[in-house]
Structure 1
Amino acid sequence: MVEDRQAAVAAAIGKVARLDDVPIALDHVCRACAQMLDVDGVSLCTISDLGLGEPIAATNALSDHAVELEITIGVGPGMEALDEGETVLAHDLTSVSSSARWPALAAMLVGLGVQAVFALPLTTSDVTVGVLELYRRRPKPLTEAELADAQLFADYALHLLVIGDRDPSGWGIDALLTGSLSAQWARVHQAIGVVSAQLEIGASQAYQRLRAHTFASDLGLREVAGAVLDGRVRFTA
């Protein structure tokens, strides 16, 4: 039975990649997951050098905005899964327990149209290297079968990350991570460097300041990063 589900998941991912006529990448894992399961969006993050998630793929605007919001605030199901290496299932963000657990984030995600988030860590040898997040517009838990399939998609993504640079096909880790979302996030790293230089502080502190400014300005993190790089926003001590 497990082998049948593994084959079904692999076939779904392969089908998406064949339609693009390119080798399988992490984006295909997310898109196949969204198509196969009853969810409204999927994102995938890897752990960054600064300790927070860095988005690699998002299937639509809903998942794109949701994962950026989690990273900006620095808390949430995905960030907990990255930090603790445990699956985090939040099937109703409108509940009292979710509001108490993530006071600001829960309300903001609901405002985006997300009412359920399911975060599955990508863990190997007790080291968490990423997280796969699934989103629903309505408060509804994953069924046991859906959760099992979601874990298979997470396992597939982990496999790509771990063996990507040793893939005999010649497609290394750079190919797996290539995409518009990765390119956009590269500008965030550039902006961190600018803020670090402007304030004469370390990269981690600069990232905190950039995220704090984003939260206060009601803009997206990538928008603020772009403004920093364009000189429209300057940080002073």
Structure 2
Amino acid sequence: MTVLKIAVAGASGRMGKMLVESIAEAQDTVLAGALDIPESAFLGSDAGATLGKPAGVLISSDFSIALADADYLIDFTRPEGTLKHLEYCAEHGIKMIIGTTGFDEAGKAAIAAAAEKTAIVFAPNMSVGVNVTLKLLEMAAKSFSHGYDIEIVEAHHRHKIDAPSGTALKMGEVIADTLGRDLNEVGVFSRVGVTGERDPSSIGFATIRGGDIVGDHTVLFAGIGERVEISHKSSSRVTYAHGSLRAARFLADKKTGLYDMYDVLGLN
């Protein structure tokens, strides 16, 4: 059995800890490195210490140390950090699984360029359930293309810094593409005051932030006399970790290329 040597970015964060734990529990993966920002209070500590399961890997902010033994880096940090990691990984042939959200067009272009040097899975949500939900939204959009208003509601914990979530935007993109629309033109991200009647071609977004909500997403197709709601609710970050490990396994025989979770799950 081939064992995948995986490093984790943001190893002391909420998602980082879940990844460290999931890597330790899987039979075909091993934690090969733990990366964090220079300001982290956990530098020099064991990546599994706060979980009560020492991993034998110390958290470092030095790329050359944290990634020295890694063939993969899983990154759920922030765009500015991920892009720095991306540059290093591309130059050293380290494959990446990127779950970071909030990239601008330049950031997305940098990821595409790096994929010419190493293999990357880049997706706004690594959950298997979310990606199956996206496929269901394609099917629904085809049937509800006329006479139905489309609204996307998402809720996350109080610490999330970008809005709408990357998953909500991906849902909007999937629906807009299916309907032959451009989300940049039809997306409505705020409603205040006298807004006038709803444009039937628009796709609305509503954002909720509070408490420790891991991630809830609902797409509403509202017609006359009926409405259909397609929802996905995360109760634990473990679903993102398990999806990330599936992505790493998918990349095992890939040297270069940019992929998403549809590729990983065979949904294309």
- TM-score, reference length from structure 1: 0.30
Larger Rg, first or second structure (1 or 2): 2
User: Normalized per residue, which structure has more strand?
Assistant: 2
